[in-house]
Amino acid sequence: MFVVLPIVAGFLIFFFPHRGNKVIRWYTLYICIVELLLITYAFSYYFQFEDPLIQLAEDYKWIAFFDLYWRLGIDGFSLGPILLTGFITTLATLAAWPITRDSRLFHFLMLAMYSAQIGLFSSQDLLLFFIMWELELIPVYLLLSMWGGKKRLYSATKFILYTAGGSVFLLMGALGIALYGSNEPTFNFETSANQSYPVGLEIFFYIGFLIAFAVKSPIIPLHTWLPDTHGEAHYSTCMLLAGILLKMGAYGLIRINMELLPHAHSIFSPWLIIIGVMQIIYAASTSPGQRNLKKRIAYSSVSHMGFIIIGIGSISDMGLNGAILQILSHGFIGAALFFLAGTGYDRIRRLYLDEMGGMAPLMQKLFTTFSILSLASLALPGMSGFFAELIVFFGLISGQKYLLTTKILITILMAVGMILTPIYLLSMLRQMFYGYKLFNTPNSYFFDSGPRELFVSISILLPVISIGIYPDFVFSLSIDRVEAILSNYFYR
């Protein structure tokens, strides 16, 4: 029900009056809120948090000819991303309030993405996982190409080429796992997790999945679509991209690469950590050179994803829990920064930092929220990013897999990346809000954040601070599942 409700409700939008923009907006927001409340209710009353196994399962034969099953289920790991999806999508719908052109199609695409994301995070079948992965691509492509900036067609084409190319490797890996060692092919996650493969074949499968998830995460050098996409997309689309889409790649790395292919993951984990460190430093050092505000924030996303990769590669309880916390933390912070960048653009019609300045006295509420969330992005204590990065550090140091000298070297390099982070974030704030700038172009108009924009900003800020003060809530969701993954496949 949770998977099909948004997209089925979305089809009804096309029966609305063509110019009923207000009705369409309220209807879409209502569907998002109902979906989020239903998910929260089901998890609160029917989900056993101390049980690491799959719960709330559905298992139906969908298409008999292809032997395709509608196989869904939730565990402590998928719980957080699903709640994040509902929360961010609801706020992104509210953020898209100014969209009036082709409003019916725009809001239908938002709801279609909602269904695809919930479906992916709850899939317990490799083929269904692939279908939900692909279902995400078309809405993002249309949202980019129809409601983007001046170079929207270029960025949309680049996005679809990268992600569709990565999807080919995902499909090949899924088919390989399903067909290996069985007279009857099966895409069931549970069956595949208990299947043993020759090491060479497992490595082959692992590389295929890694390429697919590296594009989506993104992992360097397959990241170049991300700054272009964020630079041109409407900020409500950017919220979905930064808050949820990137997390699908990290989710796949844990759910498929780590759970289904543990021996190959043990082999590749040192390389993942090296790539993660390189990503933190590279993106943090490249970001200050970006004149476009949204591209600078996009590179900060690439840098923060490096901590998730290191946590996954650490193969330790603490490191993996830190990676899951960072998935949620950056989902909130990344979505908030793109929303605030977009609301600033609505006022001054400028995206290039060297054309900005002196905005603080004119937009004090925007300045305050932007500053707080930028500090959250640089892992200020008391914010969610601080505990996420700190626990990834501890997870790497306390893990048993690596030598002490290796741990020290990696930690020093991670610290260098963390030192670079305040440089590009604080310089961004200085260029935007301080100094003197006279905006006298006809399209410029000044007023501070309105009630709707302030509501979205505060709604995202509250969980960022709450997790920063009490991160144990997030750990209570995932800790049993993480322990089960590591004990079943790595510590035995």
Question: Tens of pLDDT along 99-116?
Answer: 878 888 899 999 999 999
Residue 443: pLDDT above 50?
A: no
For the stretch 150-177, pLDDT in tens is 888 888 888 898 988 888 999 998 888 8
pLDDT of the residue at 338: 92
Would you state the pLDDT for residue 183?
Answer: 65
Assess whether pLDDT exceeds 80 at residue 63.
no
Residues forming a β-bridge with 74: 55
Query: What rounded mean pLDDT belongs to the chain?
Result: 85
Specify the pLDDT at position 444: 45
Whether pTM > 0.85 for this model: the answer is: yes
Q: How confident is the model at residue 91 (pLDDT cuts 50, 70, 90)?
A: very high
Whether 436 has a pLDDT exceeding 80, the answer reads: no
Decide if pLDDT at 441 tops 70: no
Residue 482 has pLDDT above 50, yes or no: yes
Instruction: Please indicate whether residue 148 or residue 212 has the higher confidence score (pLDDT).
Output: 212
Confidence at 20, pLDDT banded by 50, 70, 90: low
- How big is the chain, counted in residues? 492
Q: Which two tokens stand for residue 223?
A: 């990241």
Query: Residue 488 pLDDT > 70, yes or no?
Result: no
DSSP 62: E
Q: Give residue 485's pLDDT band: very low, low, confident or very high (50, 70, 90).
A: confident
> What is the average per-residue pLDDT within 4-22?
83
Q: Is the pLDDT confidence value at 321 over 50?
A: yes
Whether 3 and 62 have beta carbons less than 8 Å apart is answered as no
Residue 442's pLDDT is 46
- pLDDT of res. 373: 92
Task: Check whether 462 has a pLDDT greater than 90.
Answer: yes
* Mean pLDDT, range 187-195, rounded to an integer: 80
Average pLDDT, integer, range 329-354: 87
pLDDT band at 464 (very low <50, low <70, confident <90, very high): very high
For residue 362, the one-letter residue type is: L
344-364 tens-digit pLDDT = 887 787 888 888 888 888 788
pLDDT at position 114, please? 92
- The answer to whether residues 148 and 235 touch, using CB atoms and an 8 Å cutoff, is no
Q: What is the mean pLDDT of residues 245-263?
A: 89
According to the model, what pLDDT value does residue 50 have? 77
Does 85 have pLDDT greater than 90?
yes
Residue 290, phi then psi, degrees to nearest 5 = -85, 120
Cβ atoms of 480 and 75 within 8 Å: the answer is: no
Q: Mean pLDDT, to the nearest integer, of 386-397?
A: 87
DSSP E strands in 42-154: the ranges are: 55-63, 68-74
* In contact, 349 and 443? CB cutoff 8 Å: yes
User: What is the spatial distance between Cα 155 and Cα 161, in angstroms, rounded to a whole number?
Assistant: 10
Identify which has the larger pLDDT, 263 or 54. Answer: 263
Answer yes or no: are the C-beta atoms of 233 and 144 closer than 8 Å: yes
